[in-house]
Structure 1
């Protein structure tokens, strides 16, 4: 990976809808060389895909919550069952197994507090092995990005 590859990654991360010609112009490279590099970066797994960013507010999903989850047992079968179940929950945007005072950190989007209460009881607390949860409702998003420093 050289400086041109990094420039390509920064540029497509900023605007994934650029045509190859537009990208080539932005990075000052020929369209053919740009297409070859982009193809290689994708093939080598640096570029995982492209997606549109949607407005949670316009889709009536304005409430962002983080939920700490502690399990009653930390055995492979409980971890596997929890992971399978959480992948099916549409409200869950991210779920990470973490080290520290709890087992999982969940990021979810819901309509509002009433919807969150239903989500907590119907989805989270119905998951296998749940011992305890702590919820943090986001009052203001200060920074929200998926961009990686390249």
Structure 2
């Protein structure tokens, strides 16, 4: 019985915290795993499609200045993310490297940088629902 009460209190506490952030813009830590997943699964593929190079471009820094706003849509959390990616050329060739291998690519040319700004909206954790816009400019 005591264990059930503790679980119930925990669930209520988590729900209260979630409701406090619904509809509010919050800063996201650079090490947030959901942010990292969005960068590599959504942001970088779109950025590389715009850059048109023989090698893939990857983050040259781990700072993304990310923000997120979450609302409830269709009874599920729906989040809009905004983040920056400062990209550099990597050691991975476009023709031979699948986009799923992007996390293993390392930046090698730090002289030329591309700043990409990404806006991604999706139902939390459902990458198939992602709608995104990525804008890139050379620095």
The answer, yes or no, to whether TM exceeds 0.5 is no
TM-score norm. by structure 2 comes to 0.22
For the pair shown, which has the larger CA radius of gyration, 1 or 2?
1
TM-score norm. by structure 1 comes to 0.21
